Chains A and B, each alone.
Chain A
Amino acid sequence: MARVRLENVTKRYGEETAVDDISLEVEDGEFVTLVGPSGCGKSTTMETVAGLTRPTEGRIYIGDDDVTTLAPKDRGVAMVFQNIALFPHMDVYENISFGLRLRKYDDEEVRRRVEQAADIVQLEGMLDRMPAEMSGGQQQRVGIARAIVRNPDVFLMDEPLANLDAKLRVHMRTELQRLHRELDATVIYVTHDQAEAMTMSNRIAVLNDGRLQQIAAPLTCYNEPTNLFVAGFIGSPSMNFAEGQLVENGLETNNFTVNFDPTQVPGVTVGDDVTLGIRPEDVHLTRFAETVGSPTDPIGARTDVLEPMGDEVFVYVLLSEAATGSMEQDPATSPNQLLMSVTPDTDIEANQEINVVLDRSKIHLFDTATGDALVHGITDLSDRESGTTPTEADS
């Protein structure tokens, strides 16, 4: 097992920059997920670690060795692929033992290790099957067995669950976590599914446009996103955003005003454009305002569409009469809509006049121009002295 360190890794294909100056460090035994929308460079980043792609600039270290120019086979990494990539002309045993046989292990040792690996991924008795005769989940387990059998320093997993159906995906998610705990292995995992990233990782590295946006523990990314992109990407459904302007006694958007002391927000002054971010679960009906630590003034609104999910209900809230609740716009980015989540027993129906409050301590403020987070959680003007101190965003 070993640490992995990327130093200013950049990969350019002609004019296009797929990976732009990424530096990150994965500790020994850590499970780090690279997450981002498609085309953000997360797979390319992983390929540079695997050695399948050579970075244009920057260096890569595994353990204490500079592996930037080493061939994949000499790096001590194993990889699990999105398209599973089992060798179709070999049976399960040959697939799993491929790497061991190349390294000229003796037959006895190969058999022992293959059986042990098959045991871990629960493939006993299937060693003589051909990949084509197996289900997707079984095939991916063979892929994982092929990776663990060599006892590599680092596991690289490139969307290993993407080709599985939803139910199997959730099951394999827990299996991978169990595997990580059992093997105590260093894992770099690539996915575009933020739920996978949230549930499995020790730390998440959020990528966009080839750049590293934030690398932190899942809950830190969720509660203290460093910029608008991370705030919108992590969490499902995503955070509500409302653009506004900083005024003398708080923030004014087109539809509502939030009172706070603008001097407590570092880096901006009155008159600057600021975007407010609030997660659906931090929007509350006014009648529950007492349960909220520091509610804002009530905001008049009308419910539009209800989405009962079973454990909660998502309510699309129209903030102004002008808003038609158009389908074209994502509620997160539409200036006149809010998405609110309420408990299923809440007495609420579509097209109903309501008042909502926001939880001040859960409000995020972002600089509209740069997208950088300014502050997570704000305090009321009145209880400025006694209130909780806001967490300042790391810059």
Chain B
Amino acid sequence: MSDPRDSTDPTDAGDTETEPPRDPTLRRPDGGAVLEDDRDAELDRGPFQQWVADSISNPERVYRAMFYVAAVFFLFTTLFPFYWLLMVALTPEGQLQDIVFTPNGFNPGAFVEVFQVIPFHVYMFNSFVIALASTVVVLVVASLAGYAFGRLDFPGRTPLMLLVLVISFFPPAAFFIPLNDLFNTSFFFLEPITGDGTLYNTPFALVTPLSAIFMPLAIFILTTFYSQIPDGLEDAARVEGTTRLGALFRVIIPLSAPGVATAGVLTFIAVYNEFFFSFLMTDGQPENWAPILDGILAYQGQYQVMYHLMAAASILGVIPVAILVVIAQEKIVSGLTAGALKE
């Protein structure tokens, strides 16, 4: 330890190590000059060459640049149609030709007119009820299924789970004809509920098939989350006085809040945005539980298409989902950070 360069004092070590000999007249054996650092290269390079040289020595800059390019491209392709929709909505009727980047005129009244021409709010309400009911059905049933698949050991568990997933890959159209036929069949025991005994033109005609179609994804998400809750917590809840079901609702589900929120939001959005069944399972009349989709298409008359109202209605239809996503995102993030378990 007598050698001063062996000293553990950081300042000493810094002095001896970070001072390489810097001699501008240094020559390689072949006669070329040794470039000591970037400052030498700067002299004989243009800005682009300089940028390339910097990128090679510092690749993070390129990755960051690529990220911004990709993000801007993605945002543009996603948001520009909305901008365009807004332009169309704000342009007064009859002046829809030649819209480039600004509306021809300014007519915010379209957002009010939407509700005057047809009862668009009823369509929105219908969509909301259908999406909400489907989400509730999916979350309750998928929670029970997720508990069974994630926390119980029973013969045939894996094949059953695979079957559920396989069914989710079927095209929904494959179910349409039998379901439509079924929903148009009159059942006497449904008469007190639907009047004529059929499910067509009722919310059940949408909630039933849509919950079934989006159920496998929710089951899959919830199975993963529920299986990660330590057995000890469930045991503790059961000894403390809950049933298995009670433990599911009081302990497992609250601790899986991020998973439940994810499954719920995905289901809500999927049902709200669904086209195929929404279009075909009602006759398109607002009093018959037709969803937003039918509302937007209702501005299309036999002789006239009110594009500005369709655009305004589309924007109004998107807003609830946008709000939901923003709120849910916060919930999901807070759920994730609060879910610290001791195992």
Contact = CB atoms under 8 A, between A and B. Distances in A.
B342 A102 contact: no
B237 interface: yes
- Chief secondary structure at chain B's binding surface: helix
A85 B232 CA distance: 5
Contacts of A156: 239
B254 interface: yes
A328 B238 CA distance: 46
B109 interface: no
B343 A79 contact: no
A73 B242 contact: yes
Contacts of B235: 50, 52, 72, 79, 81, 85
B342 A83 contact: yes
Contacts of A72: 235, 238-239
A13 to B, nearest CB: 10
A159 to B, nearest CB: 11
A183 B341 CA distance: 31
B50 interface: no
B237 A71 contact: no
Given A52-B235, A83-B232, A88 B240 contact: no
A89 B254 contact: yes
Contacts of B236: 79, 81, 85-87, 146
A86 B233 CA distance: 7
Contact of A85 (B233, B254, B340): B233
B156 to A, nearest CB: 15
A131 B230 CA distance: 15
A84 B342 contact: yes
Nearest to A52: B235
A195 interface: no
A73 B243 contact: yes
Interface string A24-60: 0000000000000000000000000011100000000
B251 interface: yes
Given A81-B232, A83-B232, A89-B255, A132 B241 contact: no
A238 interface: no
- Most interface-central of B232, B246, B254, B338 (chain A CB within 10 A): B232
9 contacts: A71-B243, A73-B240, A79-B239, A81-B236, A84-B232, A87-B255, A88-B342, A102-B240, A146-B240
9 nearest A-B pairs in the assembled complex, by CB-CB distance? A85-B232, A99-B240, A85-B236, A102-B241, A73-B241, A79-B239, A72-B238, A83-B232, A99-B241
Interface of A: 50-52, 71-73, 77-79, 81-89, 98-99, 102-103, 131-132, 139, 146, 150, 156
